[in-house]
Amino acid sequence: MAKIECFANNPYQENTVVLYNDSGECVIIDPGMYTGAEQNAVVNFIKENNLIPVLLLNTHCHIDHVLGNKFVFEQYGLKPKFHQGELPVLNFAPVHAAQIGFRYENSPLPDEYLPETGTISFGNTTLELIFAPGHSPAHLCFYDKEANILVGGDVLFKGSIGRSDLPGGNHAQLLKNIREKLFVLPDDCTVYPGHGPETTIGYEKQYNPFFN
């Protein structure tokens, strides 16, 4: 059964996720590490738990989610995997960094892109791909059916949703994807969003003001 560890990183308090299982393999999702201390926290957790990183995944490519891509590549030799539709977002990252005064080392490019549907596996864990654009043009969520957890990126937050006013965002599309693709998951599915605390699908269906 997969376990999850989250680290709040960079000035945007983005949640960097390490997903791991009994096989000793782990996946790093949305590495937002910005400072040396943030980098060390993730590396030390991986080391202390004797984990071997085998995949680097991005739900989407806004700068706060890809700040650590280059670091993870240098540290573990992993290139990111994300949907090809996020490439324009990644290509904009250096410009965005300059605008907000961030240090940013260019992310390596994927050797292969992720499809809209299908699965990606590591160790004894399988993640289902859920294509849910609206916050960004080709956003993916990763659902572990066995552990009943969703690594949701910036689609659904506790009591809120991702912003849709950035390039490639679309408010109506975002709401539709949450309704049709996330709210069909079990009510007790735990959602780990890209920012803020975890929540559950059932809680959001009942209390999220965007759906009531």
Contact present, 42 and 30 (Cβ < 8 Å): no
d(CA 109, CA 32): 16
Residue-range domain boundaries for the chain: 3-211
SS3 38: helix
Task: Tell me if the domain spanning 3-211 has CATH number 3.40.720.10.
Answer: no
Length of the chain: 212
pLDDT value, residue 195: 98
pTM of the predicted model as reported, rounded to 2 decimal places: 0.98
The string of pLDDT tens digits covering residues 80-124 is: 999 999 999 999 999 999 999 999 999 999 999 999 999 999 999
Q: Hey, what are 114's tokens? A: 């992720």
pLDDT value, residue 146: 98
pLDDT value, residue 206: 98
SS3 98: helix
d(CA 208, CA 77): 40
pLDDT value, residue 182: 98
Regions in the chain scoring below 70 on pLDDT: none
pLDDT value, residue 164: 97
Non-local (6+) Cβ contacts of 93 within 8 A are 61, 62, 63, 66, 104, 106, 107
d(CA 54, CA 148): 21
pLDDT value, residue 212: 84
DSSP secondary-structure letter at 158? T
